[in-house]
Structure 1
Amino acid sequence: MTTHRKPRTSEAGRRAARLGILATACMAGFATANPAGATSTQVARVGIAFDEAHAKATPRHRVDYDDEFAIHELGSVIGTGARNKAVARSVGCSLDNPCRSVALSFQVVTTTGTLAHLNATNTSRAINDHCEGCQTFAGAYQFIVSTPYSFTLSRSTRDRLGVLERRLGELERSRESIDVVKGRADSLAAEVVNLLKGSLASAPRGAAVDPLQNFRPTVTLRRHID
C-alpha cells in the first residue's frame, strides 16, 4: 500500500503562494470634503487568510494524507476575513482493498482591534464515494487570537508552533484508527491553544489601538470535524 501526499514547497514559497497569509485588501473609507468640492478617501486595511487541506484516495493511490499549518499575523486592521477548510475524499475502492484519506488544516490568525469585525468560516468534509469500508476523515481547526493592543508572536512561540506543525505532519505515517488520529489531532489543537494563551499572558501590554476596544485578549478555537 503506497501513500500519496502532495509535495511541499519551502516555507518561503508557501508564504508567497498561499492566499492571504499576510495579504491585505483595500476598502473605501470616509470621504471628506475639500475646497472646490473635491474629496479625499482614506484607505483602510482588511486582513485576509485562506487555508485548505485536500486529500483524495483512489484505487491508484489508496492512502492519501494532506495537512496545512498556517500562521497569519494580520496586525492592526479594521476587519478580518478568515477561511479554513479541510476536505478528504475516498473514491472507488473495494471492501477487500479499502482506501484511507485524511485531511487536516490548522489555521492560526492573530488580529489587533478587530473583535467586532471578524468574518471567520471553518469547515470540513469527509466523503466516501462508492468506497465501501474506506476510512475518511477531515478536520479543520481555526485559532483566532484577538487583542486590543499591538501583539506579535515571539520567536520562541513560533519555534514551538513549528514543533507542533512537524508533529501534525507525522500523522501521515500513522496507520492507527481514525478515532485515534482524531484524538491526536485534538490533542495537538489543545497544545496550540495553551501555547497561544501563554504567549498572550507573557506579552507586554502596550496602549490599545482603539480606546473603544479595550476588550480582554482572547484565544478562540473553532473546530469542525467530519
Structure 2
Amino acid sequence: MKNRTVQRSSIIGRTAGRLGALSGACLAVLAVAAPADAVPFSDHPGRGAAAFADRATTHANRVHPDQYKDSFTVHELGTVFSVGANNRATAVSAGCSTQHPCRSIALSFQIVTMAGDNVRLNATNLGRAVNEQCPGCQTLAGAYQFVVSTAQPFTLSPEARNQLAAIHRRLDALDTSNDPISVVKERADDLAAQVKALLDREALSAPRGGATAPLAKSGPSVTMHRHYDRAN
C-alpha cells in the first residue's frame, strides 16, 4: 500500500555553530500544516536570519513494497541577511526479493524567495537512494531546490500560487503511476522545468532596488539545483 503524508513547512532555529553563516541570535520557529493537495507556504517577514529544512523519505520493504512520498514547499522570506536552506530526498528499499522487488520513490521540491544584497546563503540539496539486500528493487530519490533572489521583497501572485498548486497535484499523481522509475524521473524533471519557468516570470515583476544596488543592475535571479540518486 502506498503511503503519503501531509507536508509541513517550517522555519527552524539554528545556532551559528550548526550553520556557520547564521548569527548567534535565536531564530523564529514557524510550522504550518497544510492539506496534502495544497502548497505549504511559509514566510519570515522583516530583515533577519532564517533556517528551515524540507524532507521526503520513503522506506520500502516486504510488508510495504511500494512506497512513494513527495514534498512541495514554498518559503517566502522577504528581506534577509542570512539563510540556511536544506532540502533532502531519501529513498530506501530493504529486504525484498528478485521475485517480489520493492519500489521506493522520494521527491522533494523546495522553493525559496529572498530579498537583499549580499545575502549569506547556506543551501543544501541532496537526493540519496539505498538498496539494502534488495536485488532488483527500484529506488529513486530526487531533490529540487529553487532559489529566487531579488533586490526588494515580493510575494508570488495568486495566479502563480494556483499554478504551483496544479504542479503539486501532478507531482502527487505520480504516486499512482506504475511507470518505471526512469519515466517517473522524466516527469519530475518536466514539472521542475515548469516551476523554473513560472518563477522566472514572477521574478521579473519584483520591484527593483536603488540604482546602486547590485541586484538593481543585474536584475533578479532564479537558480535551480537538482540532485538525483538511483539504486537498482
Distance 1:220 1:130 in 2: 37
Letter of the aligned partner of 2:191 in structure 1?
L
Distance 1:44 1:161, change over 3 A: closer
* Cα shift at 1:210: 8.3
* Cα shift at 1:51: 0.2
Cα deviations by residue, 1:71-91 (Å, 9 ceiling, x for unpaired) = 000110011110000000000
Letter of the aligned partner of 2:213 in structure 1?
P
Match of 1:165 in 2: 168
Distance 2:206 2:200 in 1: 13
Kept after mapping to 1: 8 A contact 2:209/2:215 = no
Match of 2:4 in 1: 6
Q: Which runs of 4+ in 1 moved over 4 A?
A: 23-26
Q: How does 1:176-195 map to 2 (within 5 A)?
A: 176-195=179-198
Kept after mapping to 2: 8 A contact 1:149/1:209 = no
Distance 1:161 1:108 in 2: 10
TM-score, with length taken from structure 2:
0.80
1, 6, 10: which one pairs with 1:19? 10
Kept after mapping to 2: 8 A contact 1:89/1:128 = yes
* Cα shift at 1:139: 0.1
* Cα shift at 1:7: 3.0
Q: Which runs of 5+ in 2 are unaligned?
A: 16-21, 26-45
Cα deviations by residue, 1:101-125 (Å, 9 ceiling, x for unpaired) = 0000000000001554111010010
Q: How does 1:39-58 map to 2 (within 5 A)?
A: 45-58=48-61
Distance 1:128 1:188, change over 3 A: same
Match of 2:223 in 1: 220
Distance 1:84 1:6 in 2: 18
Letter of the aligned partner of 2:6 in structure 1?
R
Cα deviations by residue, 1:25-84 (Å, 9 ceiling, x for unpaired) = 88469xxxxxxxxxxxxx961022210100110000000001000000011001111000
Q: Which runs of 5+ in 1 are unaligned?
A: 30-42
* Cα shift at 1:24: 9.3
SS at match of 1:19: strand
RMSD: 2.4
Distance 1:129 1:73 in 2: 38
Distance 1:6 1:217, change over 3 A: same
Q: Which region of structure 1 is more displaced relative to structure 2, 209-218 or 182-191? A: 209-218
* Cα shift at 1:205: 2.4
TM-score, with length taken from structure 1:
0.82
How much identity, in percent, do the aligned residues show? 43
80, 86, 89: which one pairs with 1:83? 86
